[in-house]
Amino acid sequence: MTAIFDMDGVLIDTVSRHWNAYNEILEEMYGVRVDDTEIANLIGMSLPEQLPILKKKFNIKIDADKFVPLANERKEQAMDGIEPKPGVVKLLRSLKDQGIKSGVGTSTSRITAIERLKNIGIYDCFSVVIGEEDVTHHKPDPEVYNLVAQKLDADPKATVVFEDAPSGIEAAISAGMKSVGICTTYTTREKLSRADLVVNSLEEVTLETIQKLLKRK
């Protein structure tokens, strides 16, 4: 058994903080703001992937060379005081105690992901962290989860992916892995319906839950 986790929205509630930062800049520079409905459609993408969509939606010319560094600076400032989401620490510790390997596959840069995981005290629970710079194709392409599984020497059929984004669920399916969808402010049960199991938080997930999921055909 192996567990692979997306980070933003699954392990830590960063999405709303990120978009508060992005919207501040969008309003300052272009006079536009992305609402929650549109944010929901962008969950799971990296910022460079999101910018072309925003350019088209608002018919604006976003200077990525200026926007991305400023956005990264603002969103890091917004991370002050962030903690693991409910149920995260208990589940990760139980996996580690049982000798079950866990990894992270995220659209955030690896360096940033490792720093955040260290800051919230759960980095030691993971054997592998794969970030956006480690892959050529991003979710819903399965490359990120295939790479994490490869690094962990894991059997995809014995692997469960924890995701909050439809694109991440599709990546897990394409990788031949089971998936657990975690509902958030932006992703409902309906949006995550392709997952093998949908929960409101990781508080609902135990080792027994994962074992039963892996036995399903």
Nearest CA to 43 out of 69, 75, 7 is that of: 7
The whole-angstrom separation of Cα 189 and Cα 20 is: 24
- Measure the CA dihedral 130/133/134/137, to 10°: 110
pLDDT of residue 217: 74
pLDDT of residue 48: 85
Mean pLDDT in runs of 10 for the chain (217 residues)?
96 90 92 90 84 93 90 86 94 96 95 94 97 93 98 97 96 98 92 96 96 89
pLDDT of residue 72: 86
Nearest CA to 134 out of 15, 208, 46 is that of: 46
pTM summary value: 0.89
pLDDT of residue 18: 87
The whole-angstrom separation of Cα 152 and Cα 82 is: 28
Domains of the chain: 2-13+83-215 (3.40.50.1000), 15-77 (1.10.150)
